[in-house]
A and B are shown apart, each in its own frame.
Chain A
Amino acid sequence: MTNAKGRFGVHGGQYIPETLMNAVIELERAYDRYHADPAFHQQLKSLLNEYAGRPSRLYYAGKMTRDLGGAKIYLKREDLNHTGAHKINNVLGQALLAKKMGKTRLIAETGAGQHGVATTTAAALMGMECVVYMGREDTERQALNVYKMRLLGAEVIPVDSGTGTLKDAVSAAFREWTNRIDDTHYCLGSVMGPHPFPTIVRDFQAVISEEIREQMLEKEGRLPDAVIACVGGGSNAIGSFYHFIDDPSVRLIGCEAAGRGAETLETAATITTGRLGIFHGMKSYFCQDEYGQIAPVYSISAGLDYPGVGPEHAHLHDIGRAEYVPVTDEEAVNAFEYLSRTEGIIPAIESAHAVAYAMTLAPQMGKDNILVITISGRGDKDCAAIARYRGENLHE
């Protein structure tokens, strides 16, 4: 699906300062080499299985299915991975690649803290130095994850520029990378940024749909009718979609964070409200004003609070292969509570966006239909914030 210069249709590309060009070219060469190397894949698979706990379960949510009264619902349990989210899939791949490239230091951005924790974990495991950039506001929203990263040996640098959220953390990490390239790999956390990142991250996350496919064929003897995942940059979604893209019978649905509503200014629903633009190394859809200034976006979820979306999602939207729907804070919080009570599974607030849309969609589908929701992460990190959202005076 990638063509020259890492394009997905018109999206993608390499819109970065000259200082970084040889770094991404070096990365692309290394990736091409190790991507074709069975020994690399064997090593990565062993890490994913023995260390991260893969394959993750495809769990039949019987109570939820009966309660909603429509499609049969399965949950892809990425929340059960080591470090509690899908982020570890990508991070183990990139850290292993960086190590092979002779890099000794990882830098990363993080929003909710999940990617930061995963990167720090991989750095600890592989004996690498690690620095994580995190928006000041997010360090407050996700204080526990900041502690975890420090506990794991990383330096966490709060970012004050801009809106103090995920986009500013990405900008800060790019700035640091231009400053120190020789020994440093920028371990980008989503399917975004300049080529080859969207392809590398997608390939490492594609294990999600590879497993869903295998597990579904084993359990049901057929493919699902729909796969639903939340989309910020879009890494768990592209990972969940990838091995179904060529199966037109499988609906692929990405849930964007609408914040207080896609019609308000307090939203992060990029495909619903954004325009084509160039930012953070890629051409894609971005929330921006008429002069191309990037909009200060908002979502209750720090992990989806990003004004852009990965270029492959932008392309899947353009060609009509995937659908993207906005889900509000309120809907996501309801789903967070619903899944906790109905199945005894506390999802990350990011993943709750996907659960929320499934709650609308499942009853409209027949009982012979099958729906898969990717639970990209677990919700422990969100409990205090959701309690506060509901008016409880709970602080970590």
Chain B
Amino acid sequence: MSNIAKAFERGKAFIPFLTCGDPDLETTEKLVKAMADSGADLIELGIPFSDPTAEGPVIQAANVRALQGGVTTDKIFDMVRTLRKTVTVPMVFMTYANVVFSYGAEKFISACGELGIDGLILPDIPYEERDEFVSICKRHGLDLISMIAPTSADRIAMIAKEATGFLYIVSSLGVTGVRSEIQTDVGALVALALENSGCPCAVGFGISTPEQAKQMAALSGGAIVGSAIVKLVARHGRDAAPYVAEYVKSMADAVHSA
């Protein structure tokens, strides 16, 4: 069983996201530990990209802050190496294709394998472009996470059949960011996905409150939250750890009770 599958073993999974290096890597390290201690089942580590086309304003701004602070892929790898000495929660990298491609896909993914990174989320790699990355991921024990969107329709079966790790269900049209309500019939997307895959589904995009997280987790295998956490980091900067810990705990409790 992959490490990611273990995140869903004990029930519904809460999956927090943060942008590495926002505002600096020392803070990121503290935040990851705080999230792991507060009930996160899997942690999504964002490697910043200059032009993150799938992100809304909140995560875009975090990318800018992180890059202005001088963070690089190699520095993030060093941070994860340190973290892995104490943190055992499954972790995946979320970044954009060019960050991996430019580093050298083989070099990047083999480094992830050695560091104990369990998977990779690349929002600008759809099913049609997976081949270039998926075989390398398999060789190094990583899951390349597949995404299903509200517009996927006739593509869901094809995508789900190839999925490993978990299936990322995009709850809404548009980019990442907090939404007051989620209008997509998420239950229908999940049902179609599960007909074609043994992988658990987790729902992301737009979730910020414990009520939303519980509702989405009840319809699937878990909930992913990014912008709401990144907002706390933006507000509290280097002192964000206790605020993030408290928030993650409330969200994880809600998800686990779903």
Q: Enumerate chain A interface residues (CB-CB to B < 8 A).
A: 5, 13-23, 161-162, 167-168, 171, 174-175, 178-181, 275-281, 283, 286, 288, 290-294
Contact = CB atoms under 8 A, between A and B. Distances in A.
A14 B173 contact: no
B173 A178 contact: yes
B51 A167 contact: yes
Interface residues of B, number: 41
Contacts of A283: 101
Interface string B126-145: 11110000000000000000
Sort A-B residue pairs by CB-CB distance and give the 3 closest, nearest first. A292-B102, A179-B174, A19-B149
B53 A171 contact: yes
A16 B122 CA distance: 10
Nearest to B108: A292
30 contacts: A13-B129, A14-B129, A15-B129, A17-B53, A17-B54, A17-B149, A18-B123, A18-B149, A18-B155, A18-B170, A19-B149, A22-B155, A161-B60, A162-B51, A167-B51, A171-B51, A171-B53, A174-B53, A178-B173, A178-B174, A179-B174, A275-B102, A276-B101, A277-B102, A278-B101, A279-B98, A281-B124, A290-B102, A292-B103, A294-B50
Nearest to B150: A19
A19 B98 contact: no
A291 B73 contact: yes
Given A171-B53, A292-B102, A278 B128 contact: no
B73 A19 contact: no
A19 B205 CA distance: 12
Contacts of A181: 151, 173
B72 A291 contact: yes
Nearest to A294: B50
A309 to B, nearest CB: 15
A200 to B, nearest CB: 18
Given A17-B124, A21-B127, 20 more contacts: A5-B128, A15-B125, A18-B123, A18-B152, A19-B149, A19-B151, A21-B155, A22-B155, A23-B151, A162-B51, A175-B53, A175-B54, A178-B173, A181-B151, A279-B98, A290-B102, A291-B99, A292-B99, A293-B50, A293-B99
B115 interface: no
A55 B152 CA distance: 42
B150 A278 contact: no
B154 to A, nearest CB: 8
Interface centre among A174, A280, A281, A293 (most CB of B within 10 A): A293
Interface in B174-198: 174-175
Contacts of B125: 15
A14 B96 CA distance: 14
A376 to B, nearest CB: 26
A23 B56 CA distance: 20
A296 to B, nearest CB: 8
A294 B73 CA distance: 14
A104 B126 CA distance: 27
A278 B98 contact: yes
A11 to B, nearest CB: 13
B161 to A, nearest CB: 15
Contacts of A171: 51, 53
